[in-house]
Amino acid sequence: WLPKAHVEAPIAGSMVLAAVLLKLGGYGIIRMAPTNISTTLIYPTIAMATWGVIMTGLTCLRKTDLKALIAYSSVGHMGLVASATLIQTPWSTSGAVILMIAHGLTSSMLFCLANMLYERTNTRMLIAMRGMHKAMPLMTSYWLIASLTNLALPPTINLIGEIQIMTTLFNWSPLTIMMTAMGATITAIYSLQMFMTTQQGHLTKDSKETYPAQTRELLIMLLHALPILLLTLNLELVY
């Protein structure tokens, strides 16, 4: 239900859902997992969560709807958070909290960027949004920041959270490294594909009249990118 909720919701709903409501769900798992989940249920749940990271990533590779692509990417990242919170070690809980904060900023930023393109092109199809670098060169910088943080580029806060989660999952079961590593690789592929498709190439006939980014839009992007940068430079702000 989550991808459909993301896609059908207005932009404010998508941003709040990605940045706040999903994090409340993660917080609830952290609080309830030690008492309400038996050990026998943890194994299949973590297996499904890590497998879900791969499946949502493969779904993103074939998506032509930009908003649906970002929604499935959001589901994949929360699969890592869910698997980490169930292990219930200090290292895994710390990684889950870090990734939730990083994902909240990154996913909200991507949804907002996608809506800015939708307002100009009246479509969410990736093929109809190509060449936006020529129409909005400054917004391309924010697209690059959002795409690179989504794929956990070093030394961003996203990478720190994912590395902590992967390490704890590997210590819990070495077999999980295959699924988490494959999920990270697929995430990098579709994130770069999303950036290249929307920003590179020639403008379509309908996009040549696209108006440049407004100050309001640039300010919204700055309010997303600045916390990511500050948390990357000083991770102690999370704690």
Question: Across the chain, what does the average pLDDT equal?
Answer: 87
Quick one: which of 172, 9, 173, 159 has its CA closest to 95? 159
The C-alpha atoms of residue 162 and residue 112 are separated, in whole angstroms, by 23
pLDDT, average across residues 46-51? 90
pTM (two decimals) = 0.90
**Structural tokens at position 101:** 């904060």
State the pLDDT at residue 133: 84
**Could you tell me if 78 and 103 are in contact, meaning their C-beta atoms sit under 8 angstroms apart?**
yes
pLDDT, average across residues 197-222? 81
pLDDT of 170-188, one tens digit each? 998 898 999 999 999 999 9
Per cent of the chain over pLDDT 90 is 38
Q: Taking 80 as the threshold, does the pLDDT of residue 193 lie above it?
A: yes
pLDDT of 105-154, one tens digit each? 999 999 999 999 888 888 888 888 888 888 888 889 999 999 999 998 88
Instruction: Give the domain extent around 161.
Output: 1-238
- Min mean pLDDT across 81-90, 191-200, 228-237 is at 228-237
Indicate the SS3 state at residue 125. Answer: strand
More confident residue, 101 or 134: 101
pLDDT band at residue 195 under the 50/70/90 scheme:
very high
Q: What's the angle, vertex CA 200, arms to CA 210 and CA 57, rounded to 5?
A: 110
Cβ count near 234 (within 10 Å):
10
**Structural tokens at position 5:** 């909720």
Count of domains for the chain: 1
State the pLDDT at residue 42: 81
Q: Taking 80 as the threshold, does the pLDDT of residue 238 lie above it?
A: no
State the pLDDT at residue 34: 63
pLDDT of 24-42, one tens digit each? 888 888 888 766 566 677 8
Cβ count near 64 (within 10 Å):
12
Per cent of the chain over pLDDT 70 is 94
Task: Provide the residue type at 214 as one letter.
Answer: Q
The C-alpha atoms of residue 176 and residue 180 are separated, in whole angstroms, by 6
Start-end of H helices in the chain? 2-8, 11-16, 22-36, 39-61, 66-87, 90-121, 132-135, 137-150, 157-172, 176-199, 215-233
pLDDT, average across residues 212-217? 84
Q: Taking 70 as the threshold, does the pLDDT of residue 194 lie above it?
A: yes
Residues 6+ apart with CB under 8 A from 157: 98, 101, 102, 149, 228, 231, 232, 235, 238
DSSP secondary structure of 50-112: HHHHHHHHHHHHT--BHHHHHHHHHHHHHHHHHHHHHH--HHHHHHHHHHHHHHHHHHHHHHH
